[in-house]
Structure formats: structure tokens, C-alpha cells
Amino acid sequence: MVRTSKKARKTRVNKDFYTELKKSVTCTAIDTLSKTLSIETYVEQDSIEKSEIMIDAIFVELNKTKKFIIEFSSILGIELANLKLLCYYAKCDKCTASADKYVILSCKRCNSSSNVDSYFSDVKSKLQYSDVWINFLIRIGRLCKLYPKFKYVTLPLNQIQKQISKLPMLVENDIEFWRT
Ligand SMILES: [Zn+2]
């Protein structure tokens, strides 16, 4: 009797998902006229007030569109990450020295010392997103910024969310595809 080990099955699931993800990329001509936001030109806001206004605006655009779901969700993620960073009034030594804002965002010490969670609960209740979903948006925002082709992925967001922890690694191992 041949039995597939749990690990082998998991690897297969990852591989199948990744194949589907790549197949879903559709680099069709982009209808820029109907597009209000673009990942390439998006600039993060420089104050908490402006960031909150922008998050509302992106959220409205996101709910209007059926076409640019990944791209608009990524831009929302980028601005949510930015807002979170703007909320830090104290940074630990490690984060002060780090240039990677995604490292800072996941620092437990800074999160608790700046009381970011309680601040963020306002945004969360307004958007009605869970922590998990906000973190997911932040992560695809990062992927989209680093690997521009990612915005052409057309798999449903919830399907991508289930695999998000492995996704950066899978994409990084396949840079040729995602950067060209
Ligand atoms: Zn820190």
C-alpha cells in the first residue's frame, strides 16, 4: 500500500496552488482611464489624518471595482501599513536601526509600547476587517510593490489568503516570472 505522507501532501497542495496562481495572471491591456489608483504611482501619506482619509477613499474605490481587486487591495494594504507606522511614537532599538518597515510592523515590542492596537481598532471597525485580513492586505501590498506582476493575479483573495504565509517564499524563488 502506498501512503502519501502528510508532508508530501502539503507540498503538493502548495505546488498546485502556486501553479493556479501563475496561471491566473492575465497581463491584458490595462484600461487606465477607468483606473483611479495605481500601485506604481501610489505615494503613502505623510500624516495620520491624511492617511485615514486616503484609506477611506481607497476603500470606496475597492468596493466599486471588479477589475483591479488585487491592485487596489494592495494599495489599501500599503496605506494601512503606512498608517500603522505613523502611529508608532516609540520605536525599539532594533526597529530604529531597521530599514525594512515590514520588520518594524511585526515587532511585538513596538506594537505594545505605542498602543497601536487600540488605535487601529478604529480603522478596523470602520472597514470591518479583522486583524488577520489587515495583515493579509499589508502582505500582498508588499508583494505587489516588490513584484509588479503580482497585481495581475486573478485568483480570489480568500484563496490567496489561505496560502499567504508561504507565498513570499514561492514568489521570491521565482523572481524572473514576477518581475518581468
Ligand atoms: Zn520594535
Which has the higher per-residue pLDDT, 53 or 96? 53
Measured in Å, residue 30 CA sits from the centre of ligand 1 at: 40
In-domain check, residue 9: no
Mean pLDDT of 115-120: 72
Listed in sequence order, the residues at least 6 apart from 87 whose beta carbon sits closer than 8 Å to its beta carbon are 48, 114, 116, 119, 120
Band (pLDDT 50/70/90 cuts) for residue 139 is: very high
In-domain check, residue 101: yes
Q: What is the mean pLDDT of the chain?
A: 87
Measured in Å, residue 115 CA sits from the centre of ligand 1 at: 12
Q: How many domains does the chain have?
A: 1
- pLDDT score for 44: 96
Measured in Å, residue 39 CA sits from the centre of ligand 1 at: 27
Measured in Å, residue 145 CA sits from the centre of ligand 1 at: 23
Take residue 129 and report the three cell numbers written for it. 476587517
Measured in Å, residue 157 CA sits from the centre of ligand 1 at: 29
Buried b (16+ CB within 10 A) or exposed e, 115-150: ebeebbeebbeebebeeebbbbbbbbbbbbbebeeb
> Cell numbers 498602543 label which residue?
115
Whole-structure pTM value: 0.86
In-domain check, residue 20: no
In-domain check, residue 23: no
E-only strand ranges, 64-164: none
